[in-house]
Amino acid sequence: MDISILPPELIRIVISAVIIIAFVFLNAMVLGYAERKLAGYIMRRPGPMEVGPQGILQLMIDGVKLIGKQLIVPKESGHALFRIAPLLAFIPVGLAFVVIPFSDKLQARDLDVGLVFMLAIMSVNVVAVLVAGWSSNNKYSLFGAIRSVAQNVAYEIPMLLSLLSVVLMANTLSLKGIVLAQHPVWYVVCQPLAFIIYFVAGLAETNRAPFDLPEAESELTAGFHTEYSGMSFSLFILAEYTNMFFVCSIAVVLFLGGWSGIPLPFYAYSGGIWFLLKVYALLFVMIWVRWTYPRVRFDQLLNFCWKYLIPFSLVNLMLTAILVKLWPVVF
């Protein structure tokens, strides 16, 4: 078939969808391997060693295993919703890639509300978790889902407030505009508190330790995805790893100067390389935190959010607003 009769935009969409899905899987593989290897080193054991040199092919084998596994649907579950939930978690994940500015030119669409777009996409994840937990018809799943939703709804507030103070300084919601606005000084320097609050809230948003109560394996077996097996389980894991990537890329775009950095030897690609380097450095911190801190209790989790993070982010936002108004030249 002659594809030249098709509109070029359509071909671009198809190709970028393929690239995005490939990237989602690749990212999950890299992160999964990094997580297991780092967990190993932190616990003073070698981690996966058997498949390939240093166990580097372990995740590929795991993927094949998960694809080959049977999808078990519990008899008493809500069938349709039970099957839809993993898709609901996975599909929005691809959408957020539309606005991520990987580098100066490597961005699909520079929406003027890019930041809101990413946050909206990430908020759909809560619905997926709730549907999964409810339709499994299992008390562990339901408890996991309730915890996850309570935690996500609470931590979304400090997250948005801390991002808002950056938006006030940059004067735009477009991700590209925010990167360009922090040309001489990265916002992590002027907004250290907002950065810390955002990162903590981001850990909670992605259900990562020490806030991994929704899937606390010692009390809830596996939380909301207890009943899922095979690929429907791995869709949840893929969504989780991709959401981690999003949280870190928002942090990089808003606080760490996006793609900017010292030009590298491959000049044309140096922006993208810097961006990915920064994102994976933050992801490394996320994994590091997970294997270092014990899980918090649920009341501690909510108290920490409502009594510390939200007041601090509100104060930070007000201070930023006042300073931006008083010295518009400096900020």
Partner 1 sequence: MFAYKCIAEALFVFFIAVTFTGGYFAVRAKYIMHAVMGLAVSLLGIAGLYFHLGSPFLAMMQVLIYVGAVCIIIAFGIMVGPKPQADEEKRVLGKRNALLAGAACLLGFGLLTVTVVQATWVPATVKTGDMTVRFLGESLLNQFCLSFELISVILLTAIIGALIIANIGKEEAES
175/77 Cα distance (integer angstroms)? 41
Under DSSP, the state recorded for 172 is -
Selected binder of partner 1 within 39, 66, 73, 127 (CB under 8 A): 127
Stretch of 106-114, 198-206, 250-258, 262-270 lying at the interface with partner 1 (CB under 8 A)? 106-114
Residues 136-195 that bind partner 1 (CB under 8 A): 142, 146, 149, 153, 156, 172-173
Minimum distance from residue 120 beta carbon to partner 1 (Å): 4
How many residues are there in the chain? 331
- Smaller CB separation from partner 1, 146 or 302: 146
Minimum distance from residue 2 beta carbon to partner 1 (Å): 14
Selected binder of partner 1 within 90, 134, 195, 199 (CB under 8 A): 134
Minimum distance from residue 165 beta carbon to partner 1 (Å): 16
H or E element that contains 187? helix 187-190
**Residue whose C-alpha is closest to residue 214's, from 255, 155, 284, 283:** 155
Q: Does 251 bind partner 1 (CB under 8 A)?
A: no
DSSP string, 217-277: HHHHTTGGGTT--HHHHHHHHHHHHHHHHHHHHHHHHHHS-TT-SSPPSSGGGHHHHHHHH
208/49 Cα distance (integer angstroms)? 25
Q: Does 87 bind partner 1 (CB under 8 A)?
A: no
Residue 235 has, within 13 A of its CA and on its CB side, a CA count of: 23
- Smaller CB separation from partner 1, 20 or 121: 121
Count of residues that interact with partner 1, criterion CB under 8 A:
28
Stretch of 65-73, 116-124, 223-231, 254-262 lying at the interface with partner 1 (CB under 8 A)? 116-124
Q: Does 119 bind partner 1 (CB under 8 A)?
A: yes
Q: Does 17 bind partner 1 (CB under 8 A)?
A: no
Minimum distance from residue 9 beta carbon to partner 1 (Å): 7
- Smaller CB separation from partner 1, 99 or 283: 99
**Do the Cβ atoms of 132 and 240 come closer than 8 Å?**
no
Stretch of 109-117, 204-212, 297-305, 311-319 lying at the interface with partner 1 (CB under 8 A)? 109-117
Minimum distance from residue 240 beta carbon to partner 1 (Å): 17
- Smaller CB separation from partner 1, 16 or 123: 123
Q: Is 69 exposed, middle or buried (0-12, 13-18, 19+ CB in 10 A)?
A: middle
Q: Is 22 exposed, middle or buried (0-12, 13-18, 19+ CB in 10 A)?
A: exposed
Minimum distance from residue 100 beta carbon to partner 1 (Å): 15
Between CA 271 and CA 65, with CA 26 as vertex, the angle to 5 degrees is 175
Distance of CA 155 to the CA centre of its chain: 14
Minimum distance from residue 36 beta carbon to partner 1 (Å): 32
Q: Is 175 exposed, middle or buried (0-12, 13-18, 19+ CB in 10 A)?
A: buried
Give the residues lining the site for partner 1 (CB under 8 A). 6-7, 9-10, 78, 81, 111-113, 116-117, 119-121, 123-124, 126-127, 130-131, 134, 142, 146, 149, 153, 156, 172-173
